[in-house]
Structure 1
Amino acid sequence: MAKVKAAYYSALVALLLSLPSMASTSNGAEFQTLWTKMLSYVTGLPGIMAALAILVVSLYMAFFGGKGPLVFFGGIIAAAAIFVIPNIVTGMGGATF
């Protein structure tokens, strides 16, 4: 059993040490399709639906759930953040996607 663990851990270490050598061979182009898909979800219809759901839930919690109007304002900020965060991430560090 100890030999199996040693072989497992040595293979795991070898794999983990080999990953940094291949880290920047494509300049991040492999994530471009993922970024484009996520950006289209957030800025498209799913993002609008999520923002509206956050607003409706916060409105219900604020006025019918007894939480107070601060929850509604928090919902407004969260809904606005859905649309602002992709622009912040794109502009961070001079990243060009």
Structure 2
Amino acid sequence: MRVAKNSLIGLLMEEGEEDLAVLIARSDLPEYLLTERDAGALAAIGLSNDELYALLPEIEGAERREGEGMSVGDLARLEQTVSDRWAHLVQDWNGKPRA
């Protein structure tokens, strides 16, 4: 099944899986994932096959509602959220206190 990377990231953010969403957003995975082809790479990041397949119906429904994908404004907000979360994670990993 073909899944938009942004749809997967958005759903993970909604589910409270910000860390995993950031890792996927920062990965070298293509913009459109093929579940069979990319399952191993997603598992290496932390999204198991079982978790991925459990999310597929929700992702498919979200993609249908969004038409061709996210609007430019939604994508910009998602990118900013991922960027902010990534910066937060890097600070935590480096042991630096947050401002």
Shorter-chain TM-score above 0.5:
no
TM-score range, shorter chain: under 0.3
- Structure with greater proportional helix content: 1
TM-score, normalised relative to structure 1 = 0.27
Larger radius of gyration: 1
- Structure with greater proportional strand content: 2
Q: Could you say which structure has the greater relative contact order, defined with CA pairs below 8 angstroms and 6 or more residues apart?
A: 2
TM-score, normalised relative to structure 2 = 0.27
